[in-house]
Structure 1
Amino acid sequence: MEYDIQHRPSYALITAELNQSEQLVAEAGAMVSHSDGIEIQTSASGGVLGSLKRKAFGGESFFMNTFTANRPGHVTLAPPLPGDVIQYGLNQNTIYVQSGSFVAAEPNVEIDTKFGGGKTFFGGEGLFLLELTGTGSTFLSSYGAIQEKELDAGESYVVDTGHIVAFEGTTEFNVKKVGGLKSTLFSGEGLVCEFTGPGKVWLQTRSPDAFLSWLVPNLPGGNDGGGRDGGFSVNF
């Protein structure tokens, strides 16, 4: 399979060129277009139990689409939010991907859901991740641009959980609260993830949760009366 990522970094579009019999597995709803001769099969990837687990804890769709080339052709894919896409090649290793950032992978890549245990769970909030293992290309998306941070052995780095895209399996992580209740309410900061190298971490420059926190109060009928108190309103 060959690929090209166009319109970066704001509105990335993946074009995957498939030879005859090659396949690509993608998140349901990611397809933009495909050429003639591409067959689409929708299934509960990993079985019903695996798909339920992904949906409940990873935030991903219950179904996956598998694209098979009956003859050479292409598929174009895009994530739901404006932003960038990167390709990461697995070679018998593991990466963990934040909910919503997975777009597609080659069929030899196994997709499972990982919950970091009690250390990542605070007051009903937790860090649920997709675990990608095996060999093959994976495609990951961001809201906004993607920034890569490579950590040396023992080096630590703290990231707001809303800005995590993915990290390599060699990287240790610990989710914790930052500040107290006052800090959470007034600064908007709540959970952060402390990574310890070695390994790479990918960040997104915008947070979907932060955008929704700004948008919802400004919608008609929002919590602050449609944004009148702030002098701004959003109308559709």
Structure 2
Amino acid sequence: MQVNLLYRPSQALAQCWLDPGERVFAESGALVGMSTNVRVETQSGGIMSGLKRMLAGESFYRNAFAAQGGRGEVLFATPLSGDMAVLEVGDRQWCVQSSAYVASSPDVEVRTRSSGLRGFFSGAGLFALETAGQGQMIIGAFGALEELEVRGHVVIDTGHIAAWESTLACRIGKNTSTWLGTWLSGEGLVCHVEGNGSLWVQSRNAGRYGAAIGARLAPRQP
């Protein structure tokens, strides 16, 4: 699969070229368009797998796009305006916020893993995704994407994390020395990222953006 990322960083679009018989898997709803020789198959991967993806914030179904009789083109995008990146899976494995996953090549296995109740209350979600296998994975963000090289310990707001290398340990915790200070700060919980590896962060927080826009909307009429 050849991936070209167009219109970065604010309106990114992933253009995927597939050789005959080649496939790409994508989150339901990510499709923008495709050539007429691309066939679509919808699959859940089993009820339990599908339910776990729903709990992770994904849709129950994931679509497979396959080129037939020639080279095929598929276009993917994210629901909110922002950037996209292609991560190589194999020598490096990744953990991904469920909202950041867009698509992946067939040999990349995307599993659901629990981030614990603390992750749920932090706004990061009760489940995240982790990869296995080898290939490419496309992630998307709200706002710009930036890759940080962690060497030791950094602290990131949970709403700004897109993906992190599996060599990194992520621990949800308070942003001040006391829980009262954390509550009064209005920042909520943060993620303490420790180890050596790559961390992808997004410049905007979708939850806070939604709250800011919602506060400016006129009340619904009964």
Calculate the TM-score normalised by the size of structure 1: 0.86
Partners of 2:101 and 2:38 in 1: CA distance: 22
1:126–1:37 CA distance, 2 compared to 1 (3 A) = closer
Structure 2 unaligned segments of length 5 or more: list them. Answer: none
Q: Does residue 175 in structure 1 map to residue 172 in structure 2? A: yes
Structure 1 equivalent of residue 54 of structure 2: 55
Question: 1:122 Cα deviation (Å)?
Answer: 4.3
Is 2:203 aligned against 1:205? yes
1:138-168 alpha-carbon deviations (Å, 9 max, x no partner)? 000110001111112xx10000000000000
Q: Which residue of 1 aligns with 2:65?
A: 67
- Asked if the contact 1:113–1:131 (Cα under 8 Å) also holds between the matched residues in 2, the reply is yes
**Letter of the 1:22 counterpart:** E
Whether the aligned pair in 1 keeps the contact of 2:119 and 2:172 (CA below 8 Å) is: yes
Distance of 1:216 and 1:182 partners within structure 2: 27
* Larger CA deviation: 203-212 vs 86-95: 86-95
Which structure has the larger Rg over C-alpha atoms? 1
3-state SS of the aligned residue for 1:213? helix
- After superposition, the Cα gap between the structure-2 partners of 1:118 and 1:59, relative to the gap in structure 1 and judged at 3 Å, is closer
Count of residues paired in the alignment: 217
SS at match of 2:193: strand
**1:78-97 superposed matches below 5 A:** 78-91=77-90, 93-97=92-96
Aligned to 1:227: none
User: 1:4 maps to which residue?
Assistant: 4
For the residues of structure 2 that align with 1:197 and 1:123, how far apart are their CA atoms?
A: 21
Q: Distance in 2 between matches of 1:218 and 1:87?
A: 35
Structural mapping, 1:114-153, within 5 Å? 114-117=113-116, 120=119, 122=121, 126-152=125-151
Counterpart residue identity of residue 3, structure 2: Y
By how many angstroms is 1:94 displaced?
2.1
Asked if structure 2 preserves the Cα contact closer than 8 Å seen for 1:93 and 1:133, the reply is no
Q: Which runs of 5+ in 1 are unaligned?
A: 223-236
Give per-residue Cα distances to partners, 1:193-229, cap 9 Å, x unaligned.
001121110000000011012111211117xxxxxxx
8 Å contact 1:120–1:176 — kept in the other structure?
no
Percent identity for Structure 1 against Structure 2 = 38
Distance 2:142 2:180 in 1: 27
Partner of 1:76: 75
Secondary structure of the structure 1 residue equivalent to 2:136:
strand
Does 2:38 correspond to 1:41?
no
State the AA in 2 paired with 1:3: V
Closer, same or farther in 2 for the Cα pair 1:122/1:3, shift >3 Å? closer
Q: CA RMSD in A?
A: 1.9
Q: Which amino acid aligns with 1:221?
A: P
2:98 pairs with 1:99: yes
**Distance change >3 Å, CA 79–CA 122, structure 1 → 2:** closer
1:93/1:134 contact within 8 Å kept: no
Structure 2 length-normalised TM: 0.91
1:197 partner SS: strand
Question: Quick check: 58-67 or 85-94, which moved more?
Answer: 85-94
Q: Does the Cα contact within 8 Å between 1:127 and 1:175 map onto a contact in 2?
A: no
